């Protein structure tokens, strides 16, 4: 099947958009213009302009049929005649095509009899003949319609031709008001412009008709009809523009998409903040969107460490990220306030429990910052020498973390670009038996499907947006399961047997894939690897509980109220643990100033065994110094909210302690002031102990829960329990 020979092809496009006695059809003019472009384009075989005649608004029969007569006489290969306008029907059922001066009812002889057009087409010596009618009977020719034909498709049969009509016998062909093209021709043009999937190239008339019919049917439009004789269904007028995708996106492309989504979530409600405008940032530091995201994540990290707006503003002013003139204090304060609002409302993004369901936790903004820092360092190291990037990490981002420095060599991610899809590799395997066996062990037979489902169900993210990690981690667990299964098959297969050769080759393919997976994993950041690694049952349960707890914390308003009953209090801010300690007198206040300068508070845990109902954390001045500051925090392990708070504390391994002073004025009103904040590091040992106690308590409260199932964002049983519990109060004093 080939396109028509341009030299032997003639096309006549007839259309009427202005009538003296019928409603106008303005879309028809566009119909002719678009179809003429298509016939003259490479899609239509680059038909010469002189071989494609457009007849707009013929006034009588001669002006409409003379161009058809000439084209029919000249065409030796293909003749195409198209008409768009009003159609009328005589009492005997014959079809008339209304021209500009045609009238309703009487003077039917002023319209073109379709039989006359048909005769001209039949008289042509062209091998292929195509007639397309976008018209209908004038009884439905109200504004927005073109009329209807009765048994049009039967009447239009021409030997050796193909005929397509816009509607059935009693239906109206649609020309919607204000639409650029009529409904029928509009779908034709779209099909030709876009191509049609899974059909031959070039487009045969039957495939074109089926597509247009399906599109109009889905829209509730009148349905077209077709008739053909001989090989008319196979006539092709246009090339099929559609092409199947030739390449799947690489892991590197999927990773870039993931980072773009992270930027979008971080900057969602901050796009109008003037401080983040592109002209406010240095242009030589890389992608402005990435720089903006880094600034937001850095501010969130500082807020999570208890830093004041003034302190964070000073940090930003000296960072060297902004262009001159630098933003003033008020502009920086506005930016910080907006980031704080976003963190309080949704933990840095628009959804909970994870950043846009992308795997980044609201209780660890540092991980988001670290991820972006590693990504920036990798991008930067592609164009700058390593010593300069290391210096910029310190000067611009205050980062000396060894994970970031190691990322300078690993994150250019060539292994992610060249990573082979195991399923595509199997398609290319020359030995069908080997390919079949390998596919089977990667799937259900070898435990691959089960391994993937288990791995996915324990992910710390609730959707599949991190597609590169889903693919890489899924391939890893499938290949591990397949390796174990194939090792058993090889051991059981008799020596020298043909099946043993197949199993050994399949095992080699799996081993090669595991090496590619290992290289790809080396190319991702430490944060991504943490998202990728397999979770234990306890970790799965803990992350599900934290997700559920964070959702409840972020759903409540953030109002600080002074605590009256205790000297020291535990609570939260956004999705973070937060403590407050009230100090009295000059001696205690002097000790606090010393703590704020050098740190030095000592934490202790009093755990009364696995069945204890409470846990006590002590907070003391080392060696009970001159101020004798000491305080205790009591956590009720029978309370789901307090157990979750303890788990959050253990997993975060740090907490901010606000030192508060209070004053009762002359009217008896109590006023609380923030003296300062100290970011306390619990350390891995205390963090692990708190996590263990909290996990044990939550399992006791939720005996039938094992963490969220696949695609869930939390633990349903805990969600119900927290819904009826009293959540921790806000312990963070306003800055």
Q: Which tokens hold the place of 186?
A: 């509009």
Helical packing angle, 498-522 and 432-442, nearest 10°: 60
What are the tens digits of pLDDT across the range 646-683?
A: 999 999 999 999 988 887 776 767 788 888 898 999 98
Q: What does DSSP assign to residue 735?
A: -
List phi, psi (to 5°) of 449.
-60, -45
What pLDDT score does 549 carry? 92
Task: Output b/e per residue, 375-386; b: 16+ Cβ within 10 A.
Answer: bbbbbbbeebee
Most confident of 111-125, 224-238, 472-486: 472-486
What pLDDT score does 90 carry? 75
Helical packing angle, 251-266 and 288-304, nearest 10°: 60
What three-state secondary structure class fits 12?
strand
Q: What does DSSP assign to residue 270?
A: T
For residue 245, name the pLDDT band (cuts at 50, 70, 90).
Answer: low
Per-residue pLDDT at 32 exceeds 70:
yes
Q: What is the pTM of this model?
A: 0.65
Per-residue pLDDT at 194 exceeds 70:
yes
Higher-confidence residue of 344 and 695: namely 695
What are the tens digits of pLDDT across the range 483-525?
A: 999 999 999 998 888 899 999 999 999 999 999 999 999 888 8
What are the tens digits of pLDDT across the range 255-294?
A: 888 888 888 878 877 878 889 988 899 989 988 999 999 9
Q: Are 634 and 621 in contact (CB under 8 A)?
A: no
What three-state secondary structure class fits 50?
helix
What pLDDT score does 715 carry? 85
What is the rounded average pLDDT for all residues in the chain?
Answer: 84
Q: For the residues 685-707, what does the mean pLDDT come to?
A: 91
- CA–CA distance, 664 with 686 (Å, rounded to integer): 37
Longest dimension (CA), the chain: 116
């Amino acid at each position: 099947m080939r396109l028509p020979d341009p030299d032997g092809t003639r096309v006549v496009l007839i259309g009427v958009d202005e009538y003296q006695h019928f409603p106008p059809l303005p879309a028809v003019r566009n119909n002719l213009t678009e179809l003429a472009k298509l016939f003259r384009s490479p899609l239509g075989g680059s038909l010469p302009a002189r071989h494609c005649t457009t007849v707009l608004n013929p006034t009588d029969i001669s002006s409409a049929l003379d161009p058809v007569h000439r084209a029919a006489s000249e065409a030796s290969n293909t003749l195409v005649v198209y008409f768009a306008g009003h159609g009328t029907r005589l009492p005997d059922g014959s079809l008339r095509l209304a021209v500009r001066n045609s009238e309703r009812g009487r003077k039917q002889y002023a319209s073109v009899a379709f039989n006359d057009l048909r005769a001209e087409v039949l008289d042509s010596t062209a091998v292929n003949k195509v007639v397309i009618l976008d018209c209908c009977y004038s009884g439905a020719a109200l504004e927005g319609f073109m009329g209807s034909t009765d048994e049009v498709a039967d009447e239009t049969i021409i030997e050796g031709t193909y005929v397509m009509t816009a509607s059935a016998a009693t239906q109206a062909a649609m020309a919607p008001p204000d639409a650029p093209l009529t409904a029928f021709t509009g779908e034709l043009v779209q099909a030709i412009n876009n191509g049609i999937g899974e059909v031959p190239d070039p487009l045969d008339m039957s495939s074109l008709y089926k597509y247009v019919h399906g599109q109009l049917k889905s829209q509730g439009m009148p349905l077209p009809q077709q008739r053909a004789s001989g090989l008319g269904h196979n006539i092709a007028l246009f090339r099929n523009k559609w092409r199947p995708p030739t390449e799947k996106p690489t892991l590197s492309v999927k990773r870039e998409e993931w980072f773009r989504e992270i930027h979008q979530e971080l900057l969602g409600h901050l796009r109008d903040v003037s401080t983040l405008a592109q002209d406010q940032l240095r242009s030589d530091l890389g992608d402005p969107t990435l720089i903006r995201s880094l600034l937001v994540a850095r501010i969130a990290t500082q807020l999570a460490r208890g830093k004041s707006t003034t302190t964070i503003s000073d940090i930003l002013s000296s960072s060297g990220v902004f262009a001159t003139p630098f933003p003033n204090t008020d502009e920086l304060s506005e930016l910080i306030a907006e980031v704080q609002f976003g963190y309080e409302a949704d933990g840095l993004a628009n959804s909970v429990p994870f950043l846009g369901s992308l795997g980044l936790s609201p209780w660890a903004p540092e991980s988001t910052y670290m991820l972006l820092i590693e990504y920036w360092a990798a991008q930067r190291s592609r164009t700058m020498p390593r010593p300069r990037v290391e210096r910029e990490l310190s000067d611009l981002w205050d980062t000396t973390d060894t994970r970031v420095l190691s990322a300078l060599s690993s994150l250019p991610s060539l292994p992610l670009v060249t990573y082979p899809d195991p399923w595509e590799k199997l398609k290319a395997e020359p030995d069908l038996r080997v390919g079949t066996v390998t596919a089977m062990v990667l799937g259900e037979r070898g435990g691959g499907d089960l391994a993937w489902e288990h791995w996915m169900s324990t992910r710390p993210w609730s959707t599949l947006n991190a597609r590169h990690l889903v693919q890489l981690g899924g391939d890893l667990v499938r290949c591990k399961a397949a390796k174990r299964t194939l090792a058993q098959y090889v051991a059981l297969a008799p020596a020298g047997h043909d099946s043993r050769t197949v199993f050994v080759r399949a095992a080699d393919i799996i081993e090669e894939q595991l090496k590619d997976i290992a290289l790809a994993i080396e190319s991702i950041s430490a944060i991504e690897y943490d998202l990728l690694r397999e979770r234990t049952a306890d970790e799965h349960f803990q992350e599900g509980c934290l997700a559920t707890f964070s959702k409840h914390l972020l759903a409540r308003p953030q109002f600080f109220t002074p605590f009256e009953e205790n000297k020291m209090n535990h609570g939260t801010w956004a999705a973070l643990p937060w403590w407050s300690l009230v100090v009295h007198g000059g001696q205690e206040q002097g000790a606090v100033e010393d703590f704020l300068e050098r740190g030095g508070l000592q934490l202790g845990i009093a755990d009364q065994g696995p069945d204890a109902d409470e846990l006590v954390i002590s907070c003391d001045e080392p060696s009970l110094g001159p101020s004798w500051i000491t305080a205790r925090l009591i956590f009720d392990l029978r309370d789901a909210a307090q157990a979750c708070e303890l788990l959050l504390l253990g997993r975060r391994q740090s907490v901010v302690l606000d030192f508060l002073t209070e004053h009762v004025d002359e009217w008896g009103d109590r006023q609380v002031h923030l003296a300062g904040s100290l970011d306390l590091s619990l350390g891995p040992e205390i963090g692990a102990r708190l996590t263990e106690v909290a996990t044990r308590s939550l399992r006791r409260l939720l005996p039938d829960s094992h963490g969220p199932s696949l695609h869930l964002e939390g633990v349903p049983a805990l969600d119900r329990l927290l819904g009826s519990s009293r959540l921790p109060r806000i312990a963070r004093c306003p800055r």
